[in-house]
């Protein structure tokens, strides 16, 4: 039997332990090491879905793993969010959603999750104003004429919305109140179906982000009357603001990543850091600008605080306008 000096034996053990520790660290840092599922709570073809796919494609390139977008849609975005809330917080199930997440709790009774406590905020990706677009058959060429049309026949002007509690729904309701009109809200299961609604003439109007409605405006299939931002946007050139006809009206939707409650901070940082890198790239910013989007890339801490502020703001608005459950 060969006898190994104690000093050499100790060195061998230390080397083995160091090697094992290094392997453990490398394994822990190798996130993601398999495909990541990105749950989109709206149907395919909508504005949220389009942005989710754009960012997910870049994440897949930089993190060298597929980021697979999966649409789990219903009228209020509850099904997809509930799925994420009940998923393992291992970083392989993420949610890409709009400000719908902090609006719906005030509109839908008996929510199956807590929008503030059951998710891990990761980052706000971008924000977007909306475009007020109407079907060509509607006898209006500007916002003043649209408001006059709506006032002459209350509940005749119909707005298609992506669902109850979606940002465009709130934008429409708020506009109706500020403009002093009575409009008819027609909820769909996502932006894609609502877009088909206005293209077919089933509804008269929509308030959608440029990323969803811009191409239809350029093709002349719908008429863009105004944008909901404080200033005109290059995404729909030559289109005035709603505020130029309805002083004080301004609205923007926002989009971001969340994970289930209890996500590993290292995984959160990986998604946030990579997304921030994507949003900082000039070429990607240009893509967003063309779609009427503004890159954000907030930190997880800032995004969590932003979520709380937005919940308070929307909650107050919904209560003031009596939009909640009766």
Instruction: Name the strand (E) or helix (H) holding 186.
Output: strand 184-187
Q: Considering just the CA atoms, what is the radius of gyration of the chain in Å? A: 24
The residue assigned the tokens 């863009």 is: 224
Domains 36-127+253-320 and 131-244 in one fold: yes
pLDDT of residue 230: 86
Other beta carbons within 10 angstroms of residue 175's beta carbon come to: 23
| DSSP line for 57-86 | HHHHHHHTS-EEEEE---TTSHHHHHHHHT
Q: Are 91 and 263 in contact (CB under 8 A)?
A: yes
Q: Are 45 and 190 in contact (CB under 8 A)?
A: yes
- Give me the sheet containing 158-161, strands edge to edge: 184-187, 158-161, 205-208, 131-134, 223-227
pLDDT of residue 60: 98
One digit per residue, the tens of pLDDT, for the chain of length 326 reads 445 555 554 555 445 444 544 443 344 458 999 999 999 998 898 888 999 999 999 999 999 999 999 999 887 789 999 999 999 999 999 999 999 899 989 988 889 999 999 999 999 999 989 999 999 999 999 999 999 999 999 999 999 998 877 889 999 998 998 999 999 999 998 888 999 999 999 999 999 988 889 899 999 999 999 999 988 988 888 999 999 999 989 898 899 999 999 999 999 999 999 999 999 999 999 999 888 888 999 999 999 999 999 999 889 889 887 887 76
Q: Are 71 and 52 in contact (CB under 8 A)?
A: no
Give CB contacts under 8 A, 24+ apart, made by 199-203.
Answer: 199/135, 201/135, 201/137, 202/160, 203/135, 203/158, 203/159, 203/160
CATH topology of domain 131-244: D-Maltodextrin-Binding Protein; domain 2 (3.40.190)
CATH topology of domain 36-127+253-320: D-Maltodextrin-Binding Protein; domain 2 (3.40.190)
Percent pLDDT > 70 in the chain is: 90
pLDDT of residue 17: 45
The residue assigned the tokens 């709380």 is: 308
Exposed e or buried b per residue across 273-288, where buried means at least 16 C-beta atoms within 10 angstroms of its C-beta: ebbbebbeeeebbeeb
Give residue limits of the domains in the chain: 36-127+253-320, 131-244
Beta strand 223-227 with 131-134 is: antiparallel
Q: Which of 158, 110, 138, 119 is nearest to 41 (CA)?
A: 119
Helix, strand or coil, per DSSP, at residue 243: helix
Q: Token pair of 35, please?
A: 């495909």
**CA 196/CA 212 separation, integer angstroms:** 11
List, for residues 199-254, the tens digit of each pLDDT value.
999 999 999 988 889 899 999 999 999 999 988 988 888 999 999 999 989 898 89
């Amino acid at each position: 039997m060969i006898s190994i000096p104690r000093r050499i034996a100790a060195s061998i053990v230390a080397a083995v332990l160091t090697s094992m520790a290094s392997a453990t660290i490398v394994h822990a840092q190798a996130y993601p090491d398999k495909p990541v599922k990105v749950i989109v709570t709206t149907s395919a073809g909508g504005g949220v879905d389009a942005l989710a796919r754009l960012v997910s494609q870049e994440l897949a390139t930089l993190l060298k793993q597929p980021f697979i977008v999966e649409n789990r849609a219903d009228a209020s975005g509850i099904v997809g969010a509930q799925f994420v809330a009940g998923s393992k917080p291992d970083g392989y199930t993420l949610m890409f959603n709009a400000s719908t997440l902090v609006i719906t709790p005030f509109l839908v009774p008996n929510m199956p999750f807590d929008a503030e406590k059951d998710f891990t905020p990761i980052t706000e990706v971008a924000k977007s104003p909306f475009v007020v677009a109407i079907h060509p058959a509607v006898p209006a060429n500007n916002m003043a004429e649209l408001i006059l049309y709506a006032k002459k026949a209350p509940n005749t002007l119909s707005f298609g919305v992506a669902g109850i509690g979606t940002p465009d729904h709130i934008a429409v309701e708020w506009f109706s109140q500020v403009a002093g009109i009575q409009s008819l809200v027609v909820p769909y299961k996502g932006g894609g179906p609502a877009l088909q609604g206005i293209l077919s003439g089933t509804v008269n109007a929509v308030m959608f982000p440029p990323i969803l409605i811009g191409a239809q405006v350029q093709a002349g299939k719908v008429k863009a009357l105004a944008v909901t931002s404080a200033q005109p946007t290059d995404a729909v050139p030559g289109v005035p603001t709603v505020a130029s006809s309805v002083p004080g009206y301004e609205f923007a939707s926002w989009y971001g990543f969340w994970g289930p409650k209890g996500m590993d901070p290292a995984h959160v940082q990986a998604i946030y850091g990579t997304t921030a890198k994507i949003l900082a790239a000039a070429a990607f910013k240009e893509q967003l600008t063309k779609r009427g989007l503004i890159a954000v890339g907030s930190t997880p801490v800032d995004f969590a605080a932003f979520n709380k502020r937005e919940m308070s703001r929307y909650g107050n608005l919904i209560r003031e306008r009596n939009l909640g459950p009766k």
